[in-house]
Amino acid sequence: MRLSFRLLNVFANEGDPFSGNPLCVFEDAAELDEDQMQGLARQFNLSETTFVLPPDGEHPEADARVRIFTPNYEMAFAGHPTLGTAHVVRDLFDAGDRVRLSMAAGVIPVRAHGDEWVLTANEGAVEREFEPGEIAHTIGLADGDLLGPVQQVSTGSGQIIAQAASVEAVRRAEGDATKMRRYAGMGTRGGETLVYLWAPTGTDTVEARALFTQGSAVVEDPATGSACSNLGAWLVAQGRTAVSWRVHQGAQVGRPSTLDLTVSDEGVVQVGGLVRQVGAGAVHL
> Of 49, 58, 108, which Cα lies nearest the Cα of 81?
49
Active site residue 123: no
CB of 75 closer than 8 Å to CB of 190? yes
Specify the pairing of strand 194-200 against strand 159-164: parallel
What are residue 244's DSSP bridge partners? 262
CA distance 284 to 270: 37
> Of 269, 271, 250, 243, which Cα lies nearest the Cα of 86?
271
CA distance 164 to 21: 23
> Of 150, 146, 211, which Cα lies nearest the Cα of 176?
211
3-state secondary structure of 71: coil
CA distance 240 to 35: 42
CA dihedral 172, 12, 72, 226 (to 10 degrees): 80
Catalytic-labelled residue, pool 48, 192, 207, 220:
48
At 80, which amino acid appears? H
CA distance 260 to 272: 5
- Over its C-alpha atoms, the chain yields an Rg (Å, rounded) of 18
Query: Annotated active-site positions, please?
Result: 48
